[in-house]
Amino acid sequence: MADTATPNVIRRADYAPPAFLIDTVALEFDLVPERTVVRNTMRVRRNPDASHASNLELMGEQLEFVSAAIDGVAFANAHAHEHGLTLDNVPDNFELTLTSICNPAENTTLSGLYVSGGNFFTQCEAEGFRRITYFLDRPDVMATFTVTLRASKADYPVLLSNGNLLEEGDLPDGRHFARWEDPFRKPSYLFALVAGKLVALEERVKSGSGKEKLLQVWVEPHDLDKTRHAMDSLINSIRWDEARFGLELDLDRFMIVAVSDFNMGAMENKGLNIFNTKYVLANPETATDTDFANIEAVVGHEYFHNWTGNRVTCRDWFQLSLKEGLTVFRDQEFSADMAGGATDEAARATKRIEDVRVLRQMQFAEDAGPMAHPVRPESYVEINNFYTMTVYEKGSEVVRMYQTLFGRDGFRKGMDLYFKRHDGQAVTCDDFRHALADANGRDLAQFERWYSQAGTPRVSVRTKYDAAQQRYSVTLTQGYGDAAPAARETQKGPLLIPFAIGLIGKDGADLPLQLEGETKASNSTTRVLDFTQTEQTFTFVNVAQEPLPSLLRNFSAPVIVEYDYSADQLAFLLAHDSDPFNRWEAGQRLATRELLTLAGRAATGVPLQLDDSVVAAFARVLTDESLSPSFRELALMLPSEAYLAEQMAESNPAAVHAARQFVRKRLANALRKDWLAVYEKHRTPGAYEATPEAAGHRALKNLALSYLAELDDPAEAVRLASAQYDAANNMTDRSAALSALLNAAAANGGNVEAQQALDDFYRRFEKEPLVIDKWFALQATQRGSAQRPVIKIVRKLMAHPAFNLKNPNRARSLIFSFCAANPAQFHAEDGSGYAFWADQVIALDAINPQVAARLARSLELWRRFTPTLRDGMRTALEKVASQVKSRDVREIVEKALA
């Protein structure tokens, strides 16, 4: 299973078209858990656009080769080796039949064909198909597939594959078969099969052009009552893609299947999406509002891939963001439209804020470390390590910038041209950019740098008001600051940055905007500046009073803005900016600055104090009932510890934790009455409603509860949380109450209520694996104390009968939660967290390299930490480097140590 060969670096510059093409594939599976026989008949021909090769080199891994035949005649010159099969001196055009055997029961990597819960599933992206049969397993080889599945009818009553069902029937010996045909050419990474004991929620809908479509959500029988939301999300996704992009479902049938052992969120296999149960199963008792929203987003994401990814796919894996960045952008827009339609800016902003939080916390950090890479990477050792925040989230921001530049209509024109030119092809990020440029008549050569330069751009802003001339000039300077070495190498020149700006007057209202050289002010009070040079000055004229600038409205580009706002100015923006994103942003800046100052003091042992003006600014948001609850919740949530630590010259998780806790306590005690009032006012009694409004009330109320749990005397919070826990009719309220109890307990040396609730929670949901994941995660992320370090709890939970390292969701719920989402405890000075991390990376490496490599990334920023922690981190990294086998983990730890 492990790959011990010296890692080879794959480079984008080395791309060459395949020497052979495969036009059709007929696969036959005899499904047996320990010994599945696969017969693969392909139509192969030389690629007229490639240089000549006499041998056909097929990829294959972990396969037992049985036989090869060309045009029906046994072929002796086929040599199986560790990486595949070489066929010497093949004809120009021929039918190739290969037989091989694989062992799905023993496949713990969850890549290729594997068994989970007694059923068969596949995962082929990026390079899993070669673990099923020998093939040209690369995305620019596209073929039509016919698939015949044979299996025991009692054990595997349901047999699914891509496309349309052609026929099914019984076979001797209690076996049966099904034959599927996918009419669309596709690369091998989109192949899928599922076989097992499953049931489906079904729905028939008519697509835009009136054709009937069969929609199915397949799950294990006991989960059927948790499929409604996924089905509704699918129907909404279909409608949305028709309305917003004119894209219709192209198959007669579309299936979603849930599996509990899965390496990531979900997979967009043509017509047969396979999902982690976490992104399918939901009902109010088991799933939180966040789970509901995530399911909608992921169902949308995979469905939208049907066009952006499947109909038009990637030429090579360096182009991954072509489908991923674009599809994330599409799912973000879908969620925003579902929450707020096209016009409710405040509701849309909630989604935008959440997305930007993730980007800044995770992608900016990635950009600052050894894994920094451009949206279109130049090289990789293991492609699975490049399903990153940069490719996905920054990639989405890059796509969003086209829309910011050209507007929704211009973006749509570009998309239309993209499909007109490239439907059915495997293409590059350049092809996408050209379609956008050509459809809008604009040269986007400079924009290419967004794909090729790594690192987070910094834009510093200087402003000058000339009262006599009524001119206001804004000078923007761009650069990368002190970028990580991995990023610096890629940086060549200035970017085209769409920089959205507004000017705010003394009364808080937007001022009209007229740039020098224009004859009148524009209609809009937000202007997108085309910022293309290293330094550029934009001058606004007829500015009657000195304005306050609102910079990078709606986060119009993935950059860091540096501008010296005073605390009063930020408080003013927080109260008045017409751009809801920037209102939130002002509060974040205010809090970040304050928290970083406090963290600096905590690091040097200076007593902490918080300015009353900061408390007052928070109090205004807390008590402003004209603001939506969801906005208030986001505005009152302090920046995360991980984000704050990353902003320090030397990350110091303990100091950040102390500072953030100090502020939370201060806000809790100073505004106790207001938190209590908000808690009461935003209860949602009665039957659970899944609407964004109801979710907003719950979010704000539960935030209030979490602040109340910080009170010096938490008795009242404990009482409220216990009552909420007992009365809850939904998982959002129940888990928030449990979390509040755990945190109140940490500060006060434990409480019986927390332990009782924890025990009750386990008993109540023992049969719901996704809820038990929450039970593990809540404990792993809880606040610890010197007397009760969380590492002890985590180590104990590792021995719990419900813990299982082989199940990625469970491993993530306990190990990842602790190592990546509880920084203050993980980075304990005694190095206990790091030793634990090393043990778990090594253990996982032997089971599932992809999951191990994800965990391995939690120490990659070690060089940026305070010296007292650095040594411990390096020692742990070196231990892992000396013991791991997979190239997945190796690439991560070697880059970290380099």
Taking the complex as a whole, the smallest distance from the CB of residue 270 to ligand B3K amounts, in Å, to: 12
Whole-angstrom distance, CA of residue 154 vs CA of residue 157: 6
CB of 320 to ligand B3K, least distance (A): 8
Nearer to Zn ion, 254 or 862 (CB): 254
Interacting residues of 859 by C-beta distance below 8 A, sequence separation 6+ = 834, 837, 873, 876, 877, 896
For position 264 contacting ligand B3K by CB under 6 A, the verdict is yes
Which helix (DSSP H) or strand (DSSP E) does residue 838 occupy?
helix 832-845
To the nearest whole angstrom, how small is the minimum distance from the Cβ of residue 331 to ligand B3K? Answer: 9
Question: What is the smallest separation between the CB atom of 382 and ligand B3K, expressed in angstroms?
Answer: 10
Instruction: Calculate ∠ Cα 838-887-361, nearest 5°.
Output: 60
Site string for ligand B3K, 299-328 (x = CB under 6 A): --xx--x------------------x----
306 touches 245 (CB < 8 A):
no
Backbone angles phi, psi at 633, to 5 degrees: -60, -45
652 touching ligand B3K, by CB under 6 A? no
- For the bound state, the minimum distance from the C-beta of residue 395 to ligand B3K, rounded and expressed in Å, comes to 11
Closer residue to Zn ion, CB minimum distance, 301 or 657: 301
Partner from Zn ion, ligand B3K, none binding residue 267, C-beta < 5-8 Å depending on class: ligand B3K
Nearest to 26 by CA among 136, 139, 181: 181
CB 121 within 8 A of CB 3: no
Total of chain residues touching Zn ion, rule CB under 5 A: 2
Residues 6+ apart with CB under 8 A from 66: 37, 99, 100, 101
- Of 110 and 703, nearer to ligand B3K (C-beta) is 110
- Which tokens is 608 given? 């902490």
The DSSP bridge pattern shows strands 175-187 and 193-196 to be unpaired
Mode of pairing for the β-strands spanning 78-81 and 119-123: unpaired
> For the chain, how far is it from start to end, CA to CA, in angstroms?
26
Among 44, 102, 110, 126, binds ligand B3K (CB under 6 A): 126
Per CB under 6 A, the list member of 231, 267, 429, 573 interacting with ligand B3K is 267
Phi–psi pair at 677, nearest 5 degrees: -65, -45
The catalytic position among 127, 302, 633, 753 is 302
Residue 125 interacts, among Zn ion, ligand B3K, none and using kind-specific CB cut-offs from 5 to 8 Å, with ligand B3K
C-alpha distances in Å from residue 143, one per residue of 36, 111, 304, 499, 571: 23, 21, 21, 43, 59
Looking at the Cβ atoms of 309 and 369, the one nearer to ligand B3K is: 309
Q: Report the DSSP beta bridge partners of residue 465.
A: 472
Residues 312-341 that bind Zn ion (CB under 5 A): 324, 327
Alpha helices in 423-454 (DSSP H): 429-440, 449-452
Given Zn ion, ligand B3K, none, residue 384, with its beta carbon under 5 to 8 Å by kind, binds: ligand B3K
- Rounded Cα distance, 875 and 888, in Å: 20
Q: Which is nearer to Zn ion, 261 or 302 (CB)?
A: 302
Single-letter amino acid, residue 90: V
Q: Which is nearer to Zn ion, 220 or 316 (CB)?
A: 316
* Residue numbers 379-408 binding ligand B3K by CB under 6 A: 384, 387
Nearer to ligand B3K, 111 or 822 (CB): 111
Q: What's the gap between Cα 484 and its chain centre?
A: 23
- 641's contact among Zn ion, ligand B3K, none, with CB below 5 to 8 A by partner kind, is none
3-class DSSP state for residue 208? coil
Q: Is 302 a catalytic residue?
A: yes
Binding partner of residue 646 among Zn ion, ligand B3K, none, CB cut-off 5 to 8 Å per kind: none
CA 747-748-752 angle, to 5 degrees, is 120
Decide which of ligand B3K, Zn ion, none touches 132; Cβ closer than 5 to 8 Å per partner kind. Answer: none
Among 137, 220, 268, 860, binds ligand B3K (CB under 6 A): 268
In the complex, minimum distance from the CB of residue 36 to ligand B3K, in angstroms, rounded to a whole number = 22
Query: Residues near 577 by Cβ (< 8 Å), separated by ≥ 6?
Result: 502, 504, 550, 583, 586
State the nearest-atom distance from the C-beta of 314 to ligand B3K, in Å.
10
Size of the site for ligand B3K (CB under 6 A): 12
x/- string (CB under 5 A) for Zn ion, residues 759-798?
A: ----------------------------------------
> Per-residue string for binding with ligand B3K, 336-375, x by CB under 6 A?
----------------------------------------
Binding segment for ligand B3K among 46-54, 297-305, 604-612, 814-822 (CB under 6 A)? Answer: 297-305
Q: Closest approach of Cβ 262 to Zn ion, in Å?
A: 14
Q: Which two tokens stand for residue 579?
A: 């751009």
Beta carbon nearer to Zn ion, 301 or 672: 301
Cβ burial of 685 (10 Å; 0-12, 13-18, 19+) is: exposed
Q: Does 241 bind ligand B3K (CB under 6 A)?
A: no
Residues 546-605 that bind Zn ion (CB under 5 A): none
Q: Is 125 in the site for ligand B3K (CB under 6 A)?
A: yes
Query: Nearest approach, Cβ of 854 to ligand B3K (angstroms)?
Result: 10
Contacts of 468 (CB under 8 A, 6+ apart): none
Place of tokens 């950019």: 433
CA distance 249 to 342: 23
Q: Which does 264 bind (CB under 5 to 8 A by kind): Zn ion, ligand B3K, none?
A: ligand B3K
Q: What is d(CA 66, CA 566) in angstroms, rounded to the nearest whole number?
A: 73
Rg (CA), the chain: 28
- How many Å apart are CA 854 and CA 864, to the nearest integer? 19
Give the binding site for ligand B3K (CB under 6 A). Answer: 125-126, 264, 266-268, 301-302, 305, 324, 384, 387
What amino acid positions are annotated as catalytic residues?
Answer: 302
Give the binding site for Zn ion (CB under 5 A). Answer: 324, 327
